[in-house]
Structure 1
């Protein structure tokens, strides 16, 4: 599989493309990384260096890939944090170009906007841009619970409400939705759900809530879910493989005592997911 991944990049650590590319390659896929920023480290440290690339420069790189005559070979376009609507427009243009050349290609969007306890952490206007412009263009969407509620225009506390919110989002474009960090009335204390919904049904995995929330996990999750979904064609199988691999990465991160996710240390669990958790069908 060939994936055009338009995301940020850091020299130290793993977020954006620096979190997505290696796991995809470890699974045997070709990745064409296009960078939207090239920072020394992720912004969670409070200080960083490096350039935010202008939208025109991002477009030039994608145009150069097009000059090679290979955009039609892409099976998917993957995007994450979009800090500027102008960059978002470039991504959507790339999606349109790829799909015009390969109608079977899919667009997977991780709609990075905010999280529980932090609220929105993107620039004003970005959440509305994601909701109104990007969402309808996506085929696969991977929000966290907080982002799902914003996109659906609701507040969900029960499993039925979560599923209804996913249905509302799916009605606007994406056929496959993966919701991470889900808390609802049926989740045991100290646990989280990850929920996958498609035309074929809905499934969930319950995992322990580990005492860390490092940057980059959402980027890895989106990349892995896209890869497994396209490879297997099964949301349930993709959910099982993705949650197991990400949990292994988190365990390795805790063992290392670092704030940077341990992708290299956990690479075997990425290449061969241990299938740690049971998948239950919700409907």
Structure 2
């Protein structure tokens, strides 16, 4: 599979393309990374260096890839954090051109906007842009629980409510939805779920809630889920492989005591995911 991944890049650590490209390559896929920023490190450190890439420059790089006659061979476009609607417009334009060249290509969007406990952490107007323009153009989206509630206009506390909210969002365009970091039931729960919903049904996987919240986990999740979904054709299978892969990465990261994801050290778990957690059908 060939993937056009339009995301941020950091030299130190793992977020955006720096988090997505290696797992995709370890799974055997070709990736054409296009950078929207080129930072020294992610902004969670509070200080960073390096430039934002101007939307026109992002578009120019994509045009250069097109000039290599690459678009007919691209199977998927992947995007994550979009800090500027102008960059979002460039991504949507690229998606349209790729699909014109290859009608079987899909667009996978991680609609990064905020999280439980933090609220929105993007610029004003970005959540509405994601909801009204980007998500309807996507085939696959991977929101977290907080982002799902915003996209659906609902407040969800049970798995049934989560699935119903996903159906609201799916009615706007995307057919496959993976919801990450789903917390339900009693407050202080020590478990969380990943929930996948498609035309074929709905499924969940429950994993322990580890005391770690490294940056880049969502970027890895979106990339790995997209890869397994397109390779296996089964949302349930892709969900199980993704959940087990991410837990293995997070568990190794926690054991290391380091702040950044242990992607390289976890490469065997990426290539051959363990089978610790099982998928169950919700409908």
TM-score, length of structure 2 as denominator length: 0.99
Contact preservation (8 Å) 1:11, 1:38: yes
Aligned residue for 1:258?
258
Superposed CA offset, 1:142-190 (max 9, x none): 0000000000011111121111100000000000000000012389930
- Residue 31 (str. 1) matches residue 31 (str. 2): yes
Contact preservation (8 Å) 2:145, 2:181: yes
- Residue 83 (str. 1) matches residue 87 (str. 2): no
Aligned residue for 2:44?
44
Superposed CA offset, 1:35-84 (max 9, x none): 00000000000000000000000000000000111111100000000000
Aligned residue for 1:57?
57
Aligned residue for 2:156?
156
- Secondary structure in structure 2 of the residue aligned to 1:275: coil
Superposed CA offset, 1:113-137 (max 9, x none): 0000000000000000000000110
Evaluate the alpha carbon distance shift between residue 72 and residue 186 of structure 1 in structure 2; reply closer, same or farther with a 3 A threshold.
farther
Aligned residue for 1:102?
102
**Please, which runs of 5 or more residues in structure 1 have no aligned partner?**
none
Higher mean displacement: 199-208 or 182-191: 182-191
Contact preservation (8 Å) 1:9, 1:37: yes
Q: What is the CA distance between 1:13 and its match in structure 2?
A: 0.3
Divergent runs of 4+, >6 A: none
- Residue 5 (str. 1) matches residue 5 (str. 2): yes
- Secondary structure in structure 1 of the residue aligned to 2:202: strand
Contact preservation (8 Å) 1:19, 1:216: yes
Aligned equivalents of 1:186 and 1:203: distance in 2? 21
Aligned residue for 1:210?
210
- Secondary structure in structure 2 of the residue aligned to 1:31: strand
Q: What is the CA distance between 1:276 and its match in structure 2?
A: 1.4
Higher mean displacement: 50-59 or 183-192: 183-192
Aligned equivalents of 1:103 and 1:278: distance in 2? 34
Would you say how many aligned residue pairs link Structure 1 and Structure 2?
283
Superposed CA offset, 1:209-247 (max 9, x none): 000000000000000000000000000110010011111
Aligned residue for 1:227?
227
Aligned residue for 1:167?
167
Higher mean displacement: 185-194 or 95-104: 185-194
Aligned equivalents of 1:151 and 1:50: distance in 2? 32
Superposition CA RMSD, Å:
1.0
Aligned residue for 1:140?
140
Aligned equivalents of 2:188 and 2:40: distance in 1? 39
- Secondary structure in structure 2 of the residue aligned to 1:205: strand
Aligned equivalents of 1:187 and 1:99: distance in 2? 44
Contact preservation (8 Å) 2:180, 2:194: yes
Aligned equivalents of 2:278 and 2:35: distance in 1? 36
Contact preservation (8 Å) 1:85, 1:126: yes
Contact preservation (8 Å) 2:183, 2:189: no
TM-score, length of structure 1 as denominator length: 0.99
**Please, which runs of 5 or more residues in structure 2 have no aligned partner?**
none
Higher mean displacement: 186-195 or 25-34: 186-195
Contact preservation (8 Å) 1:159, 1:186: no
Q: What is the CA distance between 1:195 and its match in structure 2?
A: 0.1
